[in-house]
Amino acid sequence: MTAVIFDLFGTLLQIRNRQNPFRQLLRLGSQQGRAASPGDLRWIMTNAGGLQEAADFFGIKLSSTQLIELQSYLELELESITLFEDALPALALLRHHQIRVGVCSNLGGPYCSVARDLLPGLDGYALSAEVGLMKPDVAMYQHICTQLEVAPSQLPGSDAPNVLMIGDSWRCDADGPRVAGIEGYHLDRSGAGRFCDLLEFVTGINTSRG
């Protein structure tokens, strides 16, 4: 194994005070007669702009008071983002075994800098708002593998996977990566699945390179 890729929210990071400012923005649009679209979330997750940029794109009119209120909700949410207790120990253990570490996550533009600040110095960052792609797009997984300088396939002559990924979404973090040749695993912090914390995952996989 040469690299492990992590999802962010629900995996390495948690939001302790959810305010859902972008969802509130879309609700205001609905009150103005704008019909919600399946593409709304994708635009939010693949563009680096904030609330005003999203409102402009969606044609949602915001008063100065509404914008200030939404921005305050966003700041409350961003300030509440913290690492799970097992995050840094798990990353440290992988680094001890000289395994490259990256993150691959769907998140809006304002959340990217917070994630980078809380997890500095990783070997790769594939953040949807920066890349313009979303999991489970195959290109998203290919992007993080390029950053990590690893090939998402098995090592010659070995049954062990070369690149692993773990996250709290079956679709995006377990099933999706497999299409790109990455061995995906599901993290279930409720305790119902195979892995309920990251240290269990890291110690449960083969961290030896020889």
What is the pTM (predicted TM-score) of this model? 0.92
116 contact partners, CB below 8 Å, separation of at least 6:
125
The full DSSP string for 123-191 is SEEEEHHHHT--TT-HHHHHHHHHHHT--SSPPTT-SS-SEEEEES-IIIIIIHHHHTT-EEEEB-TTS
Fold of 3-14+83-208: Rossmann fold (3.40.50)
pLDDT at 208: 44
| Angstrom distance (rounded) from CA 77 to CA 17 | 5
Which pLDDT value is given to residue 160? 55
What pLDDT score was predicted for residue 206? Answer: 59
Contact indicator for 193, 186 with CB cutoff of 8 Å? yes
Domain-by-domain residue ranges, the chain? Answer: 3-14+83-208, 21-80
Residue ranges for the chain with pLDDT beneath 70: 153-161, 206-210
